Copies of this chain bind each other. A is one copy, B any other.
């Protein structure tokens, strides 16, 4: 894929910087996107507007030459890097190597992202390179708008996600309930961990990997970042939030459903119904030209009307709607744009989740999350999974 780097070109032109530089491994999605190179150890990328150059170890040279988007692939050894490190130590040696590399690109002043390593920045400055910080993270801004190919990557990850959610739902449906109200499968308690394993195996079988899955029941579900553990109980909310990554494409999907095995309480049913309406309210507000803040406000309006607290009505509340409405999804599972109080203008090609939820340790947690792409005239919700609370 050839990204549209015109925003980055404009930034270089406006600031007069000679190059935009990243020093990171490809777990940093800006590095992966800009360089097009997937590598486990940090490497240095410099984009001058005219050309893209990467500086890698000898071990990565062959792959970088074949796989990266760079016009120039250089090896650390060509720059006498190891001799410099022996003479000046790792930090100063590296700075000297990078400064020489930049001099070869005629780059005397560079821009770097906010999270560029300070040790390298200080070292470059000591060697006379003017290092400015791009606080607005232009590469993440570029990444926010997806090409049709990128949208397709997310859709394929979402297909796998739906298969995994189906496997999890099936496990819970098939479980029996013992006298204590614990879910039981073949005589053993059905645990969060067992359901997570089923989800993760299903994702692997569908070409996706993932680091974490949330299967959180009861009080665990009342903490939006609790991943859940231990036996699952009947008649309590079980939040399942799955955010796989396509192993080949590296793009994520993200979806949440809330289930109750057996019977939900009156209050849980009400929260689920209000949250479902909050999801619809957010989608009603989702269109190009609206802001992420508009979408978030639509959800807060509804929750507050229905008598629930939000971080907008009380910034210190620990119950109610205590997170943002959604986020961009792509190489990172959380990326721009944000659907939150500071969310900016939405544009066609933005891929976002909508995930309203209500939390209270006394009641449990309820969250419903779909994923969609903003289009020229609205949005396309490409989540194909029922929204249903109670499972037999």
A residues near B (Cβ < 8 Å) are: 27, 39-41, 58-63, 75, 77, 82, 85-86, 89-92, 112-122, 131, 133, 135, 197, 200-201, 204-205, 209-212, 223-226, 311, 315-316, 318, 322-323, 334, 341-342
- Alpha-carbon distance between A122 and B133 when the two chains are bound, in angstroms: 9
Q: Which B residue's beta carbon lies closest to that of A125?
A: B118
A371, chain B: closest CB distance, angstroms = 18
A356, chain B: closest CB distance, angstroms = 15
Chain B residues near A210: list those with CB within 8 A.
209
Chain B residues near A225: list those with CB within 8 A.
39-40, 59-60, 63
Interface secondary structure of A, over-half rule: mixed
User: Can you list 9 pairs linking A and B with CB atoms under 8 Å apart?
Assistant: A58-B322, A63-B225, A90-B135, A92-B135, A112-B118, A114-B120, A117-B118, A118-B121, A118-B131
- Alpha-carbon distance between A205 and B200 when the two chains are bound, in angstroms: 10
The one of B58, B204, B334 in contact with A204, judged by C-beta atoms closer than 8 angstroms, is B204
Chain B residues near A58: list those with CB within 8 A.
311, 315-316, 318, 322
- Alpha-carbon distance between A59 and B201 when the two chains are bound, in angstroms: 29
The one of B115, B135, B323 in contact with A59, judged by C-beta atoms closer than 8 angstroms, is B323
Q: Which B residue's beta carbon lies closest to that of A62?
A: B223
